[in-house]
Amino acid sequence: MKHDAVAVVDFGGQYAHLIATKVRRHRVLAEILQPEDAVEKFAAYKGIILSGSPSLSSHGEDSEYTKAVYDLEIPILGLCFGHQEIAKHYGGEVIHGGREWGAADFELQREHPLFKGIPRHSKVWMSHFDSVAAVGPDFEELGISRLGSGEQRHRYAAIGSDRHRRYGFQYHPEVDDTEFGDRMLANFVLEICGCRPSWTMDRYIEEQMARITAQVGDDSVFLLASGGVDSTVAAILLGRALGEGRLNLLHVDNGLMRKDESREVLGLFRRMGLDKNLHFIDASTDFLAALAGVTEPEQKRAIIGNTFVEVFQREATRLGIADHLLGQGTIYPDTIETGGTRRADTIKTHHNRVPIIEEMIAAGKVIEPLADLYKVEVRELGEKLGVPHDLVWRHPFPGPGLGVRLLCSDGTVSEAELAEPRRQARSLAAAFGLDADILPIRSVGVKADLRCYEHPVLLHGAVDFDTLLEAAGTILRRTEGVNRCVWNLAEAMPQTLSLLPATVTRERLDLLREADHLVMDGLRRHGLYEEIWQCPTVLVPLSLDERGRETVIVRPIYSERAMTASPARLTPALLDELRRHILALPGVSGLMLDITTKPPATIEWE
Ligand code: XMP
């Protein structure tokens, strides 16, 4: 059957592929095309969506794409960078300014089929430096936006020309945080482009099984199985396509796992009947030796990824199956955040995307049956394939494990770098009745599709959670050099914040394992585990008491696809319990709650 399809042009924005999966949810096939693809290729589609980009439209960056698409009589919707490019192409003006990130209030200026079924006021999600300052003759302003209460309004949040059938949104309808984003995309695809919905997940399974059989041929697969939902669903799918005899599983304890995790994972595999060709190796000594003395986050990630490959190859040789393809449960965000499409910036290198694996992929030695999917789709697939509910809904846990939650430092910090952000943050926090300081460490974030590595703001004071989130949003928008806000859970504002020299050691990992165990156990007992999407616990080498004891930071979030996230609410009872138990751990002097959206902070700290 031939499906009606939409082309998504990937300008390298963090969300380009997400647009495609969102369109597919409306049962319309969406495919990713490159901006320089020939115009004839685009002509086969019933609609075109231009994605966001890390490039600046105002500076004419990335402007060498196939502009002939604008001559096609096919509706085009531009998002963020794509929106600005459409405005420019049809005689409007784009300026470097008017930046917004996070939730904004959107207000429709008139009724339009693109906004069918959507109220006049709603929430949209912004992440941009440039904005549209004027539109050309055939265009009109369909919506405006405002950030926070009483702040200045931003014009041209949505624009359109029915004559040309060209439309643009400054915000991202594809992220879950845009309240009616799904509906807006559906309206574009179904109403404006007139696509017939005929695409399904069953069809996806069929195609993947065929693809696996074709790629593997007469070979076999050796799959790295962490026990997380991605690699487990990949194992089931591969097992079905190839038969169990041609699938070997390797579970590696890299020393960066949670408390008792490997033991539990092996038990789970046994219960699921995945233990016929299941191998286990405790490689914690290899990983910890390779990480000794290293403090830089990307270097840690690279070492962990490379050590996985070394351990895998050593085990494969030992078992006499070195000719097998390497199987991985890689999902789409792993690729996109590693800068895996030509234009995307590297936010962080995922363990399954280090250069040696990229080389193996190029040589056809790797099979990744879930590489196009987001977590929410993997879960849907897992349920369809009969994976037990608890496993399908386990919190995601990154491949490098606690390695990216154990911050390291050489113990030095430039005080000059902290002075100006501290002044700005303090004056903004005071308006909300809060004290503020800047933490002398850095963590990874993402702003307007680019990686940033900046300081967290520490807030202290007794205000309600909504005020706290509003304060965090305002401070992060208006302060340079910061990308995260944390809230002090101890009684008093710390008088000292000293940075300790620290690296990856078994002792620090054991301390983090204990803190993480208390948090996970607390979430389960207080009935919050299912509602919260993920909750990293981070150990930071910051001593608040001059005794060399470190600080624990808890990061509960809500999300669906991990490309965006918002801070989750913990109950006062759970917060009290965490205060009592975590601050009582020997080696811990401080406890904080991360209250930052993604963007500008990523979910993990490194
Ligand atoms: P960030 O920190 O980029 O995380 O907002 C997005 C999601 O990806 C997970 N994550 C990883 N998963 N290998 C993985 O398999 C990795 O290297 C990796 N790094 C981050 C993270 O836990 C979150 O769910």
Q: Rounded to the nearest whole angstrom, what is the distance from the C-alpha of residue 98 to the centroid of ligand 1? A: 30
List all residues 6 or more positions away from 582 whose beta carbon is below 8 Å from its beta carbon.
515, 518, 519, 552, 588, 591
Is 191 assigned a catalytic role? no
Residue 108, φ and ψ in degrees, nearest 5: -70, 145
Amino acid identity of residue 419, one-letter, is: A
Nearest-angstrom CA–CA distance, 93 and 484: 32
Closest atom of ligand 1 to CA, residue 396 = 24
Q: Which of 300, 527, 260, 481 is nearest to 405 (CA)?
A: 300
**Stretches in the chain below the pLDDT threshold 70:** 1, 148-151, 337, 339-343
Cα(262) to centroid of ligand 1, in Å? 19
Atom in ligand 1 nearest the alpha carbon of residue 304: 17
β-strands 247-253, 278-282 pairing? parallel
Please work out whether the CB of residue 337 comes within 6 Å of at least one atom of ligand 1: yes
Q: Which residue owns the Cα nearest ligand 1 atom 7?
A: 562
Which of 225, 111, 96 shows the shortest CA–CA distance to 162?
A: 111
Could you confirm whether 80 is annotated as catalytic? yes
> Computed over its alpha carbons, how large is the radius of gyration of the chain?
24
CA torsion angle for 365, 312, 380, 269 (degrees, to 10)?
A: 140
Provide the token pair at 238.
């591969």
DSSP class per residue in 101-160? EEEEEEEESS--GGGTT--SEEEEEEEEEEEEEE--TT-EEEEEEE-STTPPEEEEEEEE
Q: What domains are there in the chain, each with its CATH number?
A: 5-192 (3.40.50.880), 201-399 (3.40.50.620), 415-594 (3.30.300.10)
| pLDDT at residue 339, as a whole number | 65
Residue 16: per-residue pLDDT: 81
Tell me the C-alpha to C-alpha distance, in Å, between residue 262 and each of 114, 252, 283, 400: 50, 8, 12, 14
Backbone dihedral angles phi then psi of residue 232, each to the nearest 5 degrees: -70, -45
How many CB atoms sit inside 10 A of residue 260's CB? 10
Bond before 541 cis per omega within 30 degrees? no
For 190, list phi and psi in degrees, rounded to 5: -90, -45
Measured in Å, residue 484 CA sits from the centre of ligand 1 at 17
Q: How many helices (H) and strands (E) does the chain have?
A: 17, 25
State in Å: Cα 134 to ligand 1 middle.
39
Q: According to the model, what pLDDT value does residue 32 have? A: 84
pTM of this prediction?
0.83
pLDDT at 342: 58
Instruction: Check pocket membership of 598 for ligand 1, CB cut-off 6 A.
Output: yes
Side chain identity at residue 506, one-letter code: R
Q: Is the CB of 349 under 6 A from ligand 1?
A: no
Torsion, Cα of 361, 365, 369, 374 (10° steps):
-30
606 lines ligand 1 (CB under 6 A): no
Structure tokens at 188: 């574009």
φ, ψ dihedrals at 398, nearest 5° = -70, 150
Element containing residue 453 per DSSP (H, E): strand 450-460
Q: How many CB atoms within 10 Å of residue 431? A: 10
Interval between CA 224 and ligand 1 midpoint (Å) = 17
- Of 225, 251, 84, residue with least CA distance to 167: 84
Round to whole Å and give the CA distance between 508 and 502. Answer: 9
Q: Is 602 in the pocket of ligand 1 (CB under 6 A)?
A: yes
pLDDT of residue 448: 85
SS3 readout for 277-291: CEEEEECHHHHHHHH
- Cβ atoms within 10 Å of 194's Cβ, excluding its own: 11
Q: Which residues of 2-41 are buried (b: 16+ CB within 10 A; e: fewer)?
A: eebbbbbbbbbbbbbbbbbbbbbbbbbbbeebebeeeeee
Please state the length of the chain: 606
Nearest CA to ligand 1 atom 9: 398
Please answer whether residues 110 and 129 qualify as being in contact, where contact means their C-beta atoms are separated by less than 8 angstroms: no
